[in-house]
Structure 1
Amino acid sequence: MSTATLDPCSILIVDDMEENLVALEAVLGPLHQHLVRARSGEEALKAMLRQDFAVVLLDVLMPGMDGFETAANMKRLDQTKDVPIILVTGVEAGSDYAYRGYALGVADFLTKPIDPWVLRTKVNVFLDLHRKNRQLTARPAAENVAGLAEISARLADVELLLHNQPGGDTSGLADRIAALERAVRHLWARTDAY
């Protein structure tokens, strides 16, 4: 399935150089996602606290807070610790760059010049994972609403039985209450499974 046909996700691109931001936007444009720019580590952290991102493309060499420090700060915050980070750096990067990045918990490491096909493919993987995580998070809520609607309907049945019983005959009431109790237990069991 094409990413263009799915709900767009947000991608944070972080680089202190305008031409690199423009290049990343051009490469990622065909994915039809919401691209958010940040020109520093501080700006990136603020952006991540304001909205949800599927993936972050983070330049390593930036003045002030570099990519490693920015990634470390992102991984320390509960709100941002699970967002995948792809570190991006120039060809002059030392061999320890990848090791340092992976030690911080980044998901991947790319060296410039970046192959556009490789970048789009890697980003697509993280977009798919983000969407699947959103579906898993939304599923229990939808199932709980359906379960609550079922329980509400059964409660309405019990109430009707109570009001419509001539002479206080409650012969079907015990079965209805037992079914209601099973529905409540089933709903709690589904909730605990998540």
Structure 2
Amino acid sequence: MTTVTSARPSAGHHEASILLVDDMEDNLVALEAVLSALQVPLVRAGSGEEAMKALLRQEFAVVLLDVLMPGMDGFETAAHIKRLDQTKDIPIIFLTGAETAYDAGYAFRGYATGAVDYLTKPFDPWVLRTKVAVFLELHRKNQQLRELLDHEQHRLGDFVRRLEAVESRLDDGSPDTAGLARDVAELVRSLREMQS
């Protein structure tokens, strides 16, 4: 069952969650203990299938994915994540036991399926928290860039509509040249604001 561990989101900004995927309850508890200091929502999934459902329901900054799970294993889950447009850019950190880490080329296979990192259990809590914090910060920066781009596109759209209105008045043969001059001066001022 997918569960969410609540954490205090940062003020005024939507915070993406971290998806923790492991079939072992003890591992999920350990991950939550290590990552709770980051103050973002942590979502648990006990299987690859649960992880995919969670990924389709909400936004995640990073996925911590166990390699060896019954049913859909970590590699299959990662392949599904990377195939979907809405999830393909989410970074995946693979986690696996030290005894299997170097068997059968797991690290190579993990990177080949789209993982950005590969850690063995037991992992160093400080290293894991630091790596996850980097991906949270990258997600925040990308979100800020998207918001800025949306704002600029809105401003540009408004400018284009105003310019079309002036063009329409010119096409009508409107004798109001003083009004047109004011409109053009306003457009020039708006364009200079967009450039700065």
**Which residue is equivalent to 1:115?**
124
Distance 1:4 1:169, change over 3 A: closer
1:51 match: 58
2:144 aligned residue: 135
Identity %: 58
1:26-71 alpha-carbon deviations (Å, 9 max, x no partner): 0001111100000000000010000110000000010000001100
1:38-187 equivalences under 5 Å are 38-95=45-102, 96-147=105-156, 170-179=176-185
2:79 touches 2:113 (CA, 8 Å); kept in 1? yes
CA contact (8 A) 1:151 1:183 kept: no
Q: Could you tell me how far 1:104 is from its partner in structure 2?
A: 1.0
- Cα-Cα RMSD: 3.1
Distance of 1:75 and 1:121 partners within structure 2: 24
User: 2:162·2:187 contact (CA, 8 Å) conserved in 1?
Assistant: no
Deviates more, 1:79-88 or 1:3-12: 3-12
SS of residue in 2 equivalent to 1:109: strand
Q: Is the 8 A contact 1:10 1:35 kept in 2?
A: yes
Between 171-180 and 17-26, the greater mean CA deviation after superposition: 171-180
How many residues matched? 176
Instruction: Write out the 4+ residue segments of structure 1 that deviate beyond 2 Å after TM superposition.
Output: 3-9, 143-156, 173-184
Cα distance in 1 between the residues matched to 2:25 and 2:133: 24
1:164 aligned residue: none
* 2:26 alignment counterpart: 19
Q: Return the TM-score normalized by structure 1.
A: 0.78
- Determine if contact 2:67/2:73 at 8 Å carries over to the other structure: yes
Task: Specify every segment of 5 or more residues in structure 2 that has no aligned partner in the other structure, as ranges.
Answer: 1-7, 167-173
3-state secondary structure, aligned to 1:92: helix
- Render the CA deviation track for 1:44-102: whole Å, top value 9, x for unaligned: 00100001100000000100000011001100111110000000000112421110011
Q: Which moved more, 1:94-103 or 1:108-117?
A: 94-103
Confirm or deny: 8 A CA contact 1:151 1:180 kept in the other structure. Answer: no
Structure 1 counterpart of 2:26, one-letter code: E
What is residue 3 of structure 2 aligned with on the other side? none
Amino acid at match of 2:127: V
What is the TM-score normalised by the length of structure 2? 0.78
In the alignment, residue 75 of structure 2 is paired with which amino acid?
A: F
